Amino acid sequence: MSERDCDIAIVGGGLAGGLTALALAEKRPGVSVRLIEAGPMPGGSHRWGWFGTDVSREGKALLKRWNEGYDAAFPDYRRHVRTRYRSLSPEDFAAGLTAMLPAGTILVNSPVAAICAPPGRTRSSAR
């Protein structure tokens, strides 16, 4: 990509990058964001886990899509567990981001070779 086609580019579609894109979409819907991921989907191959006390009120609001408890299933037993511990698969993370972010926000299979300041700005003035 040689032209600027967004206001903010986030390099890396892991948990931090994905939640940053989600927060921007919710708080600043007029800002054009691209979440650029080198792999085939956001979230990569990581499973994330967190306790309810690990996350601020604002963080819980961002994670609301994935904050509904989980199902435990064994051959002869199944139940829904409502607990303060959460676990998120990369597939669920990718599906949630895709559903909640505007179309065209997520770019996958897009490795980034370099990050440069906009024309006319030096690295120190771009901070």
The string of pLDDT tens digits covering residues 16-55 is 999 999 999 999 999 999 999 999 999 988 888 887 777 7
pLDDT of residue 1: 45
Q: Is residue 80 predicted with pLDDT exceeding 60?
A: yes
Environment class of 70 (CB within 10 Å of its CB; exposed 0-12, middle 13-18, buried 19+):
middle
Q: What average pLDDT does range 97-120 have in this prediction? A: 89
Highest mean pLDDT among 48-52, 62-66, 112-116: 112-116
Q: From the centroid of its chain, how far is CA 66? A: 12
The overall pTM is greater than 0.85? no
Q: Is residue 93 predicted with pLDDT exceeding 70?
A: yes
8 A C-beta contact, residue 7 and residue 28: no
Q: Which helix (H) or strand (E) holds 93?
A: helix 90-100
pLDDT of residue 124: 58
Lowest mean pLDDT among 72-76, 105-109, 116-120: 116-120
Query: pLDDT confidence of 109, banded at 50, 70, 90?
Result: very high
